[in-house]
Every structure is written in structure tokens, then in C-alpha cells.
Amino acid sequence: MMPLKLRWLLAASAAVWLTQCASPRNAALRPFESDGCTAFPDGTSSHPNLWQPACLRHDVAYWKGGEAPDRLAADRALRQAIFDSGHPWVSRLAYIGVRLGGVPWLPTPWRWGFGWPYGRGYAPLTESERAQVLAKAPQE
């Protein structure tokens, strides 16, 4: 009989592999959508849209997806923008939220790479995918 830890490791590996294979590469990128700071305030009561520009940049990064270091950079940039607005505790809460809730294997509308069909995971963008991002990305 296979040890429990080994069974869990094999099951987790299979799940990751299937997730990576479930989404065809070079699929069509959906149009960009943002709801501001998803499930988080867009700002303070006195400045209700204080963090919204940072959340929009973060949403663009999550929409287009890419590799794990790209996600980490996007999450850190959001944390820094909120911190720079004078709200260090809020920046930490936002960072924890996006690190826990933005993983690509959750079938949520705010996951990493949400512009692509579910299952893309962490992967570098192909030339074709980069062209789609350039064509569909919001203009700043």
C-alpha cells in the first residue's frame, strides 16, 4: 500500500498537471474587465477611490497572466501603492488577500490569468498571446 503522503503528493501533482493541460495555449483572450479593488475597498471613507488606480494596474496584470514572478511583482506593486498612500496596515491586508485569493488554480473570476480560459496556470506568454494583450489592454 502506498504511504498517505505519497498518495497526496501524486494526487496534487496530477491535479496541477491536469490544470495545466486543460487550457489550450494560444486561446482567445477575453476583453479586459475590472471591478476596482475586488472584494476590498477602493479607498477610505474620506478618499473613496484612493487605491482604485493601483487596483486597476493590478487587475491588468492578473487579466493577462504570465509566470509566478510576474504575479508576485504585481502583488508587491499593489501593496507598495497602498502603503505609499499612508496606509501600511491596509497594504498588508490587501497583499495577504491577493496572495491567498489570486492563485491561478481557483476557478474564480479574479484568479491569475483571468483573461484566459481557466486552467492556464503560470506560464510565459507566447508571441501570439502577447499580441492579444497589446491589442486588448486598456489604454492608460
CA distance 72 to 13: 22
Taking only the tens place, the pLDDT of each residue in 42-67 is 999 999 999 999 999 999 999 999 99
pTM > 0.85: yes or no? no
Measure CA 73 to chain center.
11
**pLDDT category of residue 139 using cuts at 50, 70 and 90:** confident
For the chain, the structural domain boundaries read: 4-136
